[in-house]
Amino acid sequence: MGELDPPVPVEYIKKIALPYTYAITSLREEDMIRQFAALVEDYEEQGDFILDVDLQTYREITSDDGPLLLDKEHSHSLYLMMDGTKYSNFKSQQTAPATMCFSTRDSGGKQHITKNMFHFFQRLMTRVAQGQINHLRKSCERIILCQDDPGFGFVIDMIGRDLVPGLTVREIIERTDRIYPDGVIPAFHYCDDWRQVEVDGWYPLWESKPKITHIDLVRYSPELDQTQAEKVNDFLKKGGGLALGVLPNVDDGYSDPLLKTLETNLNDSFKRLNESGVDIGLLRTSTMISTQCGLSGASPALCREIHAESLQFQEIFFQTLDRIQWFHNYTYSMEMARGIVLVEYVARE
């Protein structure tokens, strides 16, 4: 987030409906790749995001099941939020293995997008996840663990161009899903155009392990074809949920007040989802409101305003959803009435 001092967000994040761990991205050590890769010996000894993995290091990471816990230097909030406060619901996050592969290179400049290195990072992030959950369970009754995967789209493209021998999109998704420790509520954040994530008729976001899927509705309007709309409906019926990224995550994204922007964007999103064939009634109990992506580019003032105003998000969500559903039901009733009149008219003729 856009704050500069790690302790500052603690008090206002505690007050929202779903407190969470956060990263101060202005701190070098809290970069979403570096904070986890730093657990690997020799990381960045030869430059930023450079990792040469020898056989011993590979075996140390992949052969051991022991949990790994970030230190405070690489995740201040993981410790600051756990100050004796008890949480009914809490969210944490970590980087998904595909993005870890995409964002690191060996000293020769080659990206670590290979089957073996995906296995390496999948094992690393599995151990990190368990370390996080062990740490958080002392204070949290229910935990949402979100895997952030901004590089996933690039990896899909590379696989489609046969640049990653032996690794498939389905394997990436299935093994990423295995990272979630038992008992957590799984979540997944894909930053790019979620409408385009489809491989040979398979929709990974909707047809893999049911989870909370975060989608950006500011950049990517939810206009879907009938096939994908039905996949979303099935996903929701199976227990999946949506985190609707309807709020801009930078100051320049707002021309109206924040709550007015929320209402406008929700109304537009619900309308387009409904028109696409998504059963918006399913959203009532399986949706949360979010920004389109993280708040690293937001000013401290915007970060604080979003959190303060979030206490009103639920009311605006239900009011907007009710309005769209009423209009949908009214329109449907009128169409049915016109159909009945037409049938009676034809029958008389």
Domain ranges (residues) in the chain = 9-310
Calculated CA dihedral for residues 300, 303, 306, 309, nearest 10 degrees: -50
pLDDT of residue 96: 98
What is the CB-side half-sphere exposure of residue 98 using CA atoms within 13 A?
Answer: 28
| Per-residue buried b or exposed e for 294-321, using 16+ beta carbons within 10 Å of the residue's own CB | bbbbbeeebbbbbbeebeebeebbeebb
Of 286, 281, 282, 283, the closest CA to residue 326 belongs to 281
pLDDT (tens digit, 0 to 9) for every residue of the chain, 349 residues total?
999 999 999 999 999 999 999 999 999 999 999 999 999 998 998 899 999 999 999 999 999 999 999 999 999 999 999 999 999 999 999 999 999 999 999 999 999 999 999 999 999 999 999 999 999 999 999 999 999 999 999 999 999 999 999 999 999 999 999 999 999 999 999 989 999 999 999 999 999 999 999 999 999 999 999 999 999 999 999 999 999 999 999 999 999 999 999 999 999 999 999 999 999 999 999 999 999 999 999 999 999 999 999 999 999 999 999 998 876 664 655 555 555 555 554 555 5
pLDDT of residue 327: 67
pLDDT of residue 326: 73
CATH architecture of 9-310: Alpha-Beta Barrel (3.20)
pLDDT of residue 333: 52
Contact yes or no for 50/111 (Cβ under 8 A): no
pLDDT of residue 341: 52
**Coil, strand or helix: which one is 140?**
strand
Contact yes or no for 24/2 (Cβ under 8 A): no
One-character DSSP codes across 276-320 = HT--GGGGTTSEEEEESS-STTS-HHHHHHHHHHGGGHHHHHHHH
